[in-house]
Amino acid sequence: MKLFSRRDFSATMGKGITATALLGGTSLACANSTKQDKKKLGIALVGLGSYSTYQLAPSLQDTEHCYLAGIVTGTPEKEKVWQDKYDIPSKNIYNYENFDTIAKNDAIDIVYVVLPNSMHADFSIRAAGAGKHVICEKPMAISVEECDAIIKACKEAGVKLSVGYRMQSDPYTKEVKKYVAEKTFGDVHFVSSDAGYISRGNPNQWRLNKKLSGGGALMNMGVYSIQTSIYGCGSNPSSVSAQEFSTRPEYFKETDETITAQFEFPTGAVAHMMTSHNANGNRLKSHCSKGWFELEPAHSYGPISGRTSNGNVISFPHKRQQALQMDDFAKHILLGTPNVAPGEMGKRDMIIVEAIYRSIAEGGKKQMLDLGNMGIVP
97, 6, 82: which is closest to 44 by C-alpha? 82
In this predicted model, what pLDDT tens digit does every residue of 247-272 receive, in sequence order? 999 999 999 999 999 999 999 999 99
Cis ω for the linkage preceding 317 (within 30 of 0) = no
Helix (H) or strand (E) holding 97: none
- Residue 114 is predicted with a pLDDT of 98
Q: Check: CB of residue 164 under 8 Å from CB of residue 141.
A: no
- Residue 18 is predicted with a pLDDT of 34
- Residue 60 is predicted with a pLDDT of 98
Q: Classify residue 99 by burial, with Cβ atoms within 10 Å: 0-12, 13-18, 19+.
A: buried
pLDDT tops 90 at residue 108:
yes
- Residue 374 is predicted with a pLDDT of 79
pLDDT tops 60 at residue 277:
yes
Going along the chain, which residue ranges are E strands?
A: 41-46, 66-72, 93-94, 110-113, 133-136, 161-163, 188-198, 239-245, 258-264, 270-276, 278-288, 291-295, 306-308, 313-314, 367-368
Our measurement of the distance from residue 168's CA atom to the centroid of its chain's CA atoms, rounded to an integer in Å, reads 10
- Which pLDDT band holds residue 201 (cuts at 50, 70, 90)? confident
Rounded mean pLDDT, 167-189? 98
Rounded mean pLDDT, 326-338? 98
- From 3.40.50.720, 3.20.20.70, 3.40.50.10860, 3.40.50.620, which CATH number describes the 6-164 domain? 3.40.50.720
242, 224, 246, 248: which is closest to 172 by C-alpha? 224
Rounded mean pLDDT, 290-311? 97
pLDDT tops 60 at residue 164:
yes
Strands 66-72 and 41-46: parallel
- Which pLDDT band holds residue 309 (cuts at 50, 70, 90)? very high
pLDDT tops 70 at residue 81:
yes
- Residue 89 is predicted with a pLDDT of 98
- Residue 36 is predicted with a pLDDT of 44
CATH class of 170-316+343-368: alpha beta
Q: Classify residue 12 by burial, with Cβ atoms within 10 Å: 0-12, 13-18, 19+.
A: middle
Please list, in sequence order, all residues whose beta carbon lies within 8 angstroms of the beta carbon of residue 2, skipping any fewer than 6 positions away: none
- Residue 377 is predicted with a pLDDT of 73
- Which pLDDT band holds residue 13 (cuts at 50, 70, 90)? very low
Rounded mean pLDDT, 294-307? 97
pLDDT tops 80 at residue 2:
no
Rounded mean pLDDT, 207-226? 98
Rounded mean pLDDT, 151-163? 98
pLDDT tops 90 at residue 27:
no
DSSP bridge partners of 71: 45, 93
Residue positions annotated with a catalytic role: 138, 224
pTM over 0.85: yes
- Residue 8 is predicted with a pLDDT of 54
Rounded mean pLDDT, 132-146? 98
Helical residues (DSSP H) of 64-143, grouped into ranges:
76-86, 120-129
**Distance between CA 285 and CA 296 in Å, rounded?**
8
- Residue 39 is predicted with a pLDDT of 87
- Residue 373 is predicted with a pLDDT of 75
Determine the angle formed by the axes of helices 343-361 and 222-231, rounding to 10 degrees.
110
Report how far apart, in Å, the C-alpha atoms of 224 and of each of 94, 168, 201, 334 are: 31, 10, 21, 28
**Domain boundaries along the sequence of the chain:** 6-164, 170-316+343-368
Q: What angle do CA 96, 99, 104 make, to 5 degrees?
A: 165
Please list, in sequence order, all residues whose beta carbon lies within 8 angstroms of the beta carbon of residue 51, skipping any fewer than 6 positions away: 114, 137
The conformation of residue 104, written as its DSSP 8-state character, comes to: G
- Residue 23 is predicted with a pLDDT of 42
Instruction: Name the 3-class secondary structure at 84.
Output: helix
pLDDT tops 90 at residue 73:
yes
pLDDT tops 90 at residue 375:
no
Q: Check: CB of residue 95 under 8 Å from CB of residue 72.
A: yes
For all residues of the chain together, what is the average pLDDT? 92
Rounded mean pLDDT, 316-336? 98
In this predicted model, what pLDDT tens digit does every residue of 92-106 receive, in sequence order? 999 999 999 999 999
